[in-house]
Amino acid sequence: MKTTRFCTVLALAGVSALAWGQAPAPAGDAAAGQRKTQMCAGCHGIPGWRTAYPEVYGVPKIGGQHPAYIVKALQEYKSGERSHPSMKAIAASLSEKDMADLAAYYGGSAASGK
């Protein structure tokens, strides 16, 4: 019984660590990222913005997101793992450095309003 309980606690702790843990963000330059936001701001820079392509939905806020998450999402759009047509086209034009710079900017306090 104690062994089963211990294994359950250990498994839950491992799942929690995976769920809450983030990989370290790649090194990016927030100032350079701010200069690269023109393709992001048209949708992600408007509070409450909703788009109609390819379907109607609220555009997610990216300011304040964890930089590693932003880079991973952009990489997934670029590779085709994520399938939004506009984001796929935008991500295809970004280098790894561009992604890291944008993530540093949007993950920082200036973009998130902190």
User: How does residue 15 score in pLDDT terms, banded at 50, 70 and 90?
Assistant: very low
Domain membership of residue 18 (yes or no) is: no
Distance CA 20, CA 95 (A): 27
Domain membership of residue 15 (yes or no) is: no
- Return the SS3 of 46: coil
Instruction: Give 12's DSSP letter.
Output: H
**pLDDT score of 29 more than 90:** yes
Q: What is the pLDDT of residue 67?
A: 95
Q: What is the mean pLDDT of the chain?
A: 80
Domain membership of residue 17 (yes or no) is: no
Higher pLDDT, 33 or 15: 33
Higher pLDDT, 34 or 23: 34
Burial class, 87, CB count within 10 angstroms (exposed 0-12 / middle 13-18 / buried 19+): middle
> How many structural domains are present in the chain?
1
Domain membership of residue 4 (yes or no) is: no
Which residues, in sequence order, are CB contacts of 81 under 8 Å at separation 6+? none
Percentage of residues in the chain having pLDDT higher than 70? 72
pTM for the model stands at 0.72
Tell me which residue of 72, 62, 76, 71 sits closest to 97, measured CA to CA: 71
Q: What is the pLDDT of residue 4?
A: 43
Q: What six digits make up the tokens of 55? A: 């379907």
Contacts for 77-84: CB closer than 8 Å, 24+ residues apart = 84/54
Domain containing residue 82: CATH number: 1.10.760.10
The model's pLDDT over 65-84, given as tens digits with 9 standing for 90+, comes to 999 999 999 999 999 999 99
